[in-house]
Amino acid sequence: MTTQLIRHDWTTAEVQALFDLPFNDLIFQAQTIHRQFFNPNEVQMCQLLSIKTGGCPEDCGYCSQSAFAESDLEASKLMDVEQVLSEARRAKEGGATRYCMGAAWRSPKDRDIEPLKAMIRGVRDMGMETCATLGMLSAEQAQELADAGLDYYNHNIDTSEEFYGEIITTRTFQDRLDTLDVVRDSGMKVCCGGIIGMGEKILDRAEMLRTLANLTTHPDSVPINQLIAIPGTKLENVNLPHAIDFVRCIAVARIMMPRSTVRLSAGREEMSDEMQALCFFAGANSIFVGDELLTTDNPGRDKDAELMSQLGIQALPAFEEPALDKEPTNLQEASLQEISAPLHEERA
């Protein structure tokens, strides 16, 4: 059963069938699968720092750091190593177990690699997992970062290949996939997901998740972001998706990529406690903590601590792998077969 859950051959019709399931059936299936691979009452606590803000030459329609955005954001240079490490210490003291460093670049320049490596080593020495999102990488740059101890590299595909051109024109969808290959080849783990609520159709959400699930190796982390409509960006007037539609995306991601950490990422400031609880029940098991996510607001630590306490959720320790495969109980087996029957019929 466990082996059958790990697939890389999803069809569009199958993914659409998951999105079309009655909500209770979808959530039950996602939670059942989630429990086979993870402790359902543990959530990974990550913290994200913008180490180089603004002035990005890309035209991503959702981002205030784009040079094309009409925002008041002032561009800054790469932060000093010691400043980054000081922020990392505060993050660890606040309970973060993974530290993510983001820079608003198309790709890093070679001169940036040495200070980046120093940041990575410093954070690693604190006992935290390391992650970076720096734009496209050459094979040489990826290997240097991997050798310095970078555990994860984030590079999202954002949406479906079909809808992608509506959001970004300065970097192709294939550019993003090529960067994922470079990252994986270097030995780093891949963090890759997308954004919900940019005006895309449900089919686009299905195709985005299908692209990720059909990669040769599933991303180790899959961040699912809810669009933050930032004034001055191309998408400032886009309406938020319905909460249930967003939870469906979390559940489908969990079903399609059972071993991946599914991160309830940007947009939590606009989510109710009840919506977040549904996301955790649907299989999300990672969040960003802290007051900010790059340039946008995020729920504060006290608010998150209160929510986790209400739900009985504990922080996932650093460097913990998914739980060992467990054979499902007869009840789990029967329930999954009953719910999944339409999917198997579709494939046949």
- Binding-site residue positions for [4Fe-4S] cluster: 56, 60, 63
Could you tell me the CA-to-CA distances from 217 to 9, 192, 225, 325 in Å, in that order? 12, 12, 21, 17
Catalytic residue among 46, 60, 192, 279: 60
Catalytic residue among 98, 171, 184, 191: 191
Active site residue 56: yes
Tokens 């967003």 appear where? 246
Catalytic residue among 56, 192, 249, 279: 56
Active site residue 100: yes
Active site residue 192: no
Active site residue 60: yes
Catalytic residue among 98, 210, 254, 263: 263
Extract the annotated binding site for [2Fe-2S] cluster.
Answer: 100, 131, 191, 263
Extract the annotated binding site.
Answer: 56, 60, 63, 100, 131, 191, 263
Catalytic residue among 131, 192, 249, 279: 131
Q: List active site positions.
A: 56, 60, 63, 100, 131, 191, 263
